[in-house]
Amino acid sequence: MKTRLIIIVILLLVLTVLLTRNDERITDTLLGIINPIKQNYKNITQNIEDKSHSYIFQKESIEKLSRENRILRKRLLEQTHYIKQVKNIYDVLPQLSKLPIHNISITETISYVKLNSFSQIILTKPKALIENKLYGLIQNTVVAGIAQVRNNQLYGYLTSDHKCRFSVFLGKDKAPGIAMGIEKNEMIIKFIPKWHKIHIGDKVVTSGLDDIFFADIPVGIVTKVEVQSSYKVAHIKTYSDIFHPKTFFLINDAKATLAQNFDSNTTRLAIPSTTVENTEQNQSKISLAEHNQTCPVISSIPSRIDQTQEEIIEPETPLEKVEAPKKVKKTKAPKKKKHKPESLDLF
Q: What CATH number corresponds to the domain at position 177?
A: 2.40.10.350
In DSSP terms, which residues pair with 255 in a beta bridge? Answer: none
Closest to 157 measured CA to CA, from 166, 142, 138, 144: 144
The pLDDT of residue 232? 94
State whether 38 and 160 are in the same domain: no
pLDDT digits (tens, 9 = 90+) for 194-208: 999 999 999 999 999
In DSSP terms, which residues pair with 222 in a beta bridge? Answer: 236
Q: What is the b/e burial string over 198-218, where b = at least 16 CB atoms within 10 angstroms of the residue's CB?
A: beeebebbbbbebebbbeebb
By DSSP bridging, strand 134-139 and strand 305-306 are unpaired
pLDDT at 99 > cutoff 60: yes
Q: Average of pLDDT values for 279-290?
A: 48
Quickly count: other Cβ atoms within 10 Å of residue 50's Cβ: 10
Would you tell me the crossing angle of helices 24-96 and 2-20 to the nearest 10 degrees? 100
State whether 106 and 247 are in the same domain: yes
Q: Whole-angstrom Cα distance, residue 138 to residue 213?
A: 9
Q: Average of pLDDT values for 15-28?
A: 68
60 or 163: whose pLDDT is higher?
A: 163
Closest to 133 measured CA to CA, from 208, 212, 223: 212
CA angle (328 as vertex; 324, 330 as ends), nearest 5? 155
State whether 107 and 242 are in the same domain: yes
pTM confidence score: 0.55
Is 139 contained in some domain?
Answer: yes
Q: Whole-angstrom Cα distance, residue 106 to residue 250?
A: 6
Quickly count: other Cβ atoms within 10 Å of residue 143's Cβ: 28
Q: Average of pLDDT values for 223-248?
A: 91
Quickly count: other Cβ atoms within 10 Å of residue 245's Cβ: 22
Cβ 296 vs Cβ 259: under 8 Å: yes
Closest to 267 measured CA to CA, from 293, 302, 228: 293
Structural domain that includes position 59? 27-97
State whether 127 and 211 are in the same domain: yes
Single-letter amino acid code for the residue at 247: T
> Which of 29-38, 214-223, 302-311: highest mean pLDDT?
214-223
**Whole-number percent of the chain with pLDDT over 70:** 67
pLDDT at 154 > cutoff 90: yes
State whether 238 and 149 are in the same domain: yes
Quickly count: other Cβ atoms within 10 Å of residue 239's Cβ: 20
Q: How confident is the model at residue 329 (pLDDT cuts 50, 70, 90)?
A: low
Q: Whole-angstrom Cα distance, residue 224 to residue 210?
A: 24
pLDDT at 300 > cutoff 50: no
State whether 172 and 202 are in the same domain: yes
Range name among 140-144, 230-234, 275-279, 316-320 with the lowest pLDDT average: 275-279
Closest to 148 measured CA to CA, from 204, 107, 190, 191: 107
pLDDT digits (tens, 9 = 90+) for 208-229: 999 999 899 999 999 999 998 8
Last residue of a domain, one of 48, 78, 97: 97
